[in-house]
Structure 1
Amino acid sequence: MEHVVLSREESRAKREAHRRAKPPASLPLVYWPDDLESYTPTDHTREAYERAASWWRGLPERQALKDYVPVDREGYGQGLLLSGPYGTGKTTLAAAVLLSSWFNGRTKVMFVRFVDLLEANRPQQSYIRPDGLEDVSDIERAHDIVKGVRETDLLLLDDVGRGKASEFAAGVIEDVIRGRYLAGKPTIITSNLEPDEWKGRYGEGVADFLYQAFADIVYIGGPSLRGR
């Protein structure tokens, strides 16, 4: 899917039209409908906001194809990684980036919590109820998450690093990052892990691949904004 950046007037018209319609089904309503234009950075998030906005504005150029060949071979499919302590506004900013693409109207977007993606990748036999029957609704939801993560144009994978480290979790995150990058599909990730902490949790291969799969890795520090 082509990523485009509309003019300010076109973007505003699209935004107003979308606000009157339903938000993306996967997006928690707490983040609706604030995109990058309506986002108000704090002193601690201003640099991150500017870098995130720059990454978003560069999407059309990085995703451009000529005769089915990426014009920017290095940048094609590269995502955005926002890292930092809990409560510093990473997800709010990432959701604003996601909605900016949604409001531009030509991008399928998806918001998924990392813990939900791990749950969706559990073996199917784990969905057997105590009465011995399969929980069909949970199986269908898991299928929709896995399929959406693989196919959506722009994915926001939230809170990577939460939970216990395991080979299973490492395999899931590597499949997502590597698979989407090789498919030319950008991914936005938020994480409490700094880049040098990925090696200890998910392995050297995943940690090293971050610098190929992400056009920018942005740290957001400062005090927690929750409850303020």
Structure 2
Amino acid sequence: MNNAGFRATNLSSTFRLVLYGKRGTGKSFHASCIANAVIERGFSCLVTDIKQVVNLMESSFEKRSGNLERILAPDLLILEDLGAQRSTEYVMEHVYDVIDGRYKAGKPMVITTNFDFRERILNATADDPWGRVFDRIVEVGFPVKYDGNSRRREIGMKNRKDFKRKLGIEGIES
């Protein structure tokens, strides 16, 4: 079996995940694990965020369609931190172009976001600048909620406690 046949039959176009939840709960970590597994199996993967997409699209107006094609070309696209960027009409246009382009091409994607899927994404109103983007995400995305405390905060607290112990200042507030 050639590599192209392997790709066509084993990386499902229905693989569209929306990993959502609070900061530090493991969304990006798990998205990276998915990227590693996909790459290990011989597929291509691009992990990026909308800010990088917009920067690439702004870099050359003449090359805009080619740049969009480069973003859409990998077998799997992982969009990190959707919603962390400014919600301008210009940014929303690029977000929609990427998500809609993947949808039309029948290619899988993983989206990470701090937006709550049920409260923010499903209930977007017509005047919401994210409404059009969310409408497409709801159609093609399978939501996976990440709950709990921020692992970064827990690790930070442990590191500070260990550092205080090493310095011999355990009882001192910081």
In the TM superposition, what is the alpha-carbon distance from 1:96 to its structure 2 partner?
Answer: 0.3
Query: Alpha carbons of 1:83 and 1:145: their partners in 2 closer, same or farther (altered >3 Å)?
Result: farther
Aligned residue number for residue 202 of structure 1: 130
Deviations 1:147-206 (A, max 9, x none): 431111101111111122111121111111111111011011111112342433412x32
Secondary structure of the corresponding residue to residue 180 of structure 1: helix
Distance 1:177 1:110 in 2: 14
How large is the RMSD of aligned CA atoms in angstroms? Answer: 2.8
Bigger RCO (CA 8 Å, 6+ sep): 2
- 2:60 matches 1:124: yes
Aligned residue number for residue 51 of structure 2: 115
The number of aligned residues is 144
- The structure 1 residue matched to 2:90, chosen from 168, 177, 199, is 168
- Percent of residue pairs identical: 25
Q: Given the two structures, how large is their TM-score scaled by the length of structure 2?
A: 0.71
Q: Structure 2 matches for 1:34-183, cutoff 5 A?
A: 60=10, 63=12, 76-105=13-42, 107-122=43-58, 124=60, 146-183=68-105
In structure 2, stretches of 5+ residues that fail to align are: 156-174
Conserved 8 A contact 1:78-1:184: no
Distance 1:84 1:226 in 2: 14
| Structure of larger gyration radius | 2
Distance 1:97 1:159 in 2: 16
Deviations 1:72-101 (A, max 9, x none): xxxx34411101111111100011011111
Conserved 8 A contact 2:50-2:85: no
Q: Given the two structures, how large is their TM-score scaled by the length of structure 1?
A: 0.55
In structure 1, stretches of 5+ residues that fail to align are: 5-58, 64-75, 126-138
